[in-house]
Amino acid sequence: MKLRRGWDIHTRTQLISVGPALLLTLLLTGFFTFVRLQDLRQELNHTGQLIANQLAPATEYGVIAGNIQVLNTLLKATLDTPHVRFIEVRDRQDNILAYEEQAAPQDKSATQVEIFHAPIHLQRLALSKELPYSAGSGGNHMDNDYLGRVVVGMSNDAFNSQQQAILLKATVLALFALLLTFLVARRLAWRLSQPISTMADAVKAIQAGNYRTALPEVDDNELGGLARHINNLASALEQASLEQQQSIAQLVKAREESEQANRAKSDFLAMMSHELRTPMNGVLGMLQLLETTEMTDEQAEYSALATESTEHLLKVINDILDFSRIERGALELERITFNLLELIQSSAQVFQHSAHQRGLALQLDTQPGLEQLVVKGDPTRIRQILVNLLGNALKFTEEGNIRIETRWQALDNEVLWFSCAVHDSGIGISPERLEHMFDAFQQADNSISRRYGGTGLGLPIARTLAERMGGTLNAESQEGRGSIFTLEIPLPFARHNERAVEASVDDASSGIGHKVLLVEDNPVNQTVIEAMLRSLGYQVSLVGDGAQALSTVERHEFAAVLMDCRLPVMDGYEATRQIRRLPERAQVPIIALTANALQGDREACLQAGMNDYLAKPFKRADLQRILQAWVAPRPLASSQSGS
């Protein structure tokens, strides 16, 4: 079976052609040879019997007269007949009266002899019609007429020789027929298999990508039609390949243009982020410094409104940047230690003043034991989710209350399940519009956007952040009866010796006795940040580019260096690398203060050798917290883990 499967079409065609011819030739040759041999046997028997029958009447006289000489003469004459081996005459008592035989052959090989018998009867002549034999005595009369018999021995040599000749002729004829059949089958097989083999080679070439292989159209039959179809297929594939190559070239070109446009968009986004954050840092910083001065109630109200508007603008910018990161899949989460209750309280504290001004009650309902929970995660992103939910609740609630309900459950010794639900008594959302609230740039309807403002990015970003943390963000609402937004995330427990570092913003004496170097080229930011640092008790040295920072650090010792990244002469990255090469200043904390807030900017700062990163615009409390993390007297390794 395996061998038969491995035969090619040429061999199979020959077998199909020769096999039936071989079987038919063998059958016909065997049949006709058998018939011819039977005829030869009958002819030999007929000849021998004929000789015996003709010799029997001639020996009648010699048998009756007992003339042996006459008998011998007859026998010798008959012995000259070809292939007669011996002749004998026997009387009625079966005694041999005469016997003659041929001389023994010289080869003395054993010869088969066929024996033929013929009776010798007394010949009676009817003398008259009136004297017929009696019917009743017919049998006895025949017995009385029996005189003896003639025995003739015929040699089988003639039969054997003729038989061999017949077999030889039949074999030669069969072989000739088979040879002729084989040659014809070979020719037919070649004419059939050669075009098919050519087509197979052409198909292999087409499969390998050579579509210019052309097959000759041998005949106007099935093979010719198949060759035409293969040629048409090759032409179609060649055309399709050319179109595919053109499409691929267009796709490659489009991809390159898209990547170039994406790079241009990223560069533009980075530039716009930097250009927006730089003046906003000055505005927000000045407003915070203004709040520390003596103001009338009217001035304080104006300052608060300006601060709120600036922070809202900053939130819009941050939402756009976060959404851009999420679209690129480049959003990364931190894993640091923090206290859950302090995080929730600080998030709610941001809206306490606004809620009070609008006559709303902001309530915090916490489960007992929450104040002791120290966990690991990304507090910045969790705060971002909570601030977004609280901001929406405050925005869409005109009367009533806003309640923050927190629950937690330990799943095991390592992980807890944290749930925070924000209830409001605001305008609510209809069920058919609720499912679209988490789609980007979507709000309940266009009138909501016109009345309350907003980009529609807050909830999509919040849900994406929750899902990235392994949790969920769900909403329940009835139109006119308020809404409930529930955040659920798993958080691993921190080790007992790890505590979140949350500095108090009211401690203005934490920087007393420490000298810091501020590297900033923007005059407004120089004024704002320097004022913030001095209000925190730090002694400030100010330079405007990276080269000056390198020479200043080389000459003086500082508790920390606040480094902008985009600087003239030498940028902040190169200045940091040069400072790290100074043997005596290699361990000085360098903190990036930059308006570059896109994905990868933080990593670029850390790879350059900076210890931490603070994006502009920032609050005075953020600046104080990050300085306390690095300037406070504690081991370097512990400090790094706190960042």
Q: What is the 3-state secondary structure (H, E, C) of 493-534?
A: ECCCCCCCCCCCCCCCCCCCCCEEEEECCCHHHHHHHHHHHH
pLDDT bucket at 154, cuts 50 / 70 / 90: confident
Q: Which two tokens stand for residue 25?
A: 């030739």
Give the CA-trace dihedral at 215, 218, 221, 225, to 10 degrees. Answer: 10
Spatial CA neighbour of 622 closest among 356, 316, 285, 124:
285
**Looking at the predicted structure, is the pLDDT value of residue 634 above 60?**
no
* Angle in degrees, CA 352, 356, 357, rounded to 5: 120
Whether 589 and 605 have beta carbons less than 8 Å apart is answered as: no
Cα 360 from Cα 422, distance rounded (Å): 14
Report for 351-360, 415-424, 613-622: range of highest mean pLDDT: 415-424
Task: Tell which CATH classification among 3.30.160.70, 3.40.50.12140, 3.40.50.2300, 3.40.50.720 matches the domain 515-642.
Answer: 3.40.50.2300
Q: Which CATH class is domain 332-492?
A: alpha beta
pLDDT bucket at 423, cuts 50 / 70 / 90: very high
Q: Which amino acid is at 283?
A: V
Spatial CA neighbour of 462 closest among 432, 435, 425, 487:
487
Cα 441 from Cα 319, distance rounded (Å): 11
Cα 378 from Cα 398, distance rounded (Å): 32
- Centroid of chain to Cα 124: 113
Whether 174 and 25 have beta carbons less than 8 Å apart is answered as: yes
Whether 401 and 363 have beta carbons less than 8 Å apart is answered as: yes
DSSP-derived letter for residue 463 is H
Sorted by where each begins, the domain ranges of the chain are: 1-101+112-123+143-208, 332-492, 515-642
Count of CB atoms within 10 A of residue 245's CB?
10
Q: Is the peptide bond before 431 cis (omega within 30 degrees of 0)?
A: no
- Mean pLDDT for all residues in the chain: 78
Cα 533 from Cα 526, distance rounded (Å): 11
- What's the pLDDT tens digit per position in 163-210? 778 888 888 888 888 788 878 877 777 777 777 777 777 777 777 777
- Looking at domain 1-101+112-123+143-208, its CATH architecture is 2-Layer Sandwich (3.30)
Note the pLDDT of residue 636: 38
Residue 408: strand pairing partners: 418
**Looking at the predicted structure, is the pLDDT value of residue 501 above 50?**
no
Q: Which residues contact 275 (CB under 8 A, 6 or more apart)?
A: 595
Note the pLDDT of residue 359: 86
Whether 98 and 71 have beta carbons less than 8 Å apart is answered as: yes
- What's the pLDDT tens digit per position in 509-529? 455 678 999 999 888 888 888
250-260 mean pLDDT = 88
pLDDT bucket at 6, cuts 50 / 70 / 90: low
**Looking at the predicted structure, is the pLDDT value of residue 259 above 90?**
no
pLDDT bucket at 445, cuts 50 / 70 / 90: low
Q: Which two tokens stand for residue 54?
A: 């003709």
Lowest pLDDT segment from 82-96, 219-233, 248-262, 283-297 = 219-233
Lowest pLDDT segment from 182-191, 392-401, 506-515, 634-643 = 634-643
Count of CB atoms within 10 A of residue 597's CB?
22
What are the φ/ψ torsions at residue 411 (nearest 5 degrees)? Answer: -75, -35
Cα 560 from Cα 542, distance rounded (Å): 12
Sign of CA dihedral 629, 630, 636, 637: positive
Classified as helix, coil or strand, 382 is helix
What is 341-352 written as a DSSP string? HHHHHHHHHHHH
Note the pLDDT of residue 597: 64
What are the φ/ψ torsions at residue 633 (nearest 5 degrees)? Answer: -70, 95
Lowest pLDDT segment from 338-342, 373-377, 398-402, 617-621 = 617-621
Q: In angstroms, what CA-CA distances link 552 with 543, 562, 565?
A: 8, 13, 17
Report for 296-310, 349-363, 494-508, 560-574: range of highest mean pLDDT: 560-574
Cα 73 from Cα 70, distance rounded (Å): 5
Spatial CA neighbour of 597 closest among 571, 621, 618:
618
121-149 mean pLDDT = 60
Q: Which amino acid is at 230?
A: I
The pTM of the full predicted model, rounded to 2 decimals, is: 0.44
Q: Which residues contact 578 (CB under 8 A, 6 or more apart)?
A: 546, 550, 570
57-72 mean pLDDT = 82
- What's the pLDDT tens digit per position in 335-392? 888 888 888 988 888 788 888 888 888 889 888 888 888 898 888 889 889 988 988 8
Burial string for 156-173 (b: 16+ CB within 10 Å, else e) reads: bbebeebbeebeeebeee
Q: Which two tokens stand for residue 278?
A: 């730089």
**Looking at the predicted structure, is the pLDDT value of residue 42 above 80?**
yes
Helix (H) or strand (E) holding 103: none
Task: Answer with the residue of higher pLDDT: 501 or 603.
Answer: 603
Note the pLDDT of residue 495: 61
Side-by-side strand order, sheet with 96-101: 96-101, 84-91, 146-155, 113-121
Cα 430 from Cα 432, distance rounded (Å): 6
How, if at all, do strands 146-155 and 113-121 pair? antiparallel
Whether 579 and 550 have beta carbons less than 8 Å apart is answered as: yes
Sign of CA dihedral 45, 48, 54, 60: negative
Note the pLDDT of residue 506: 43
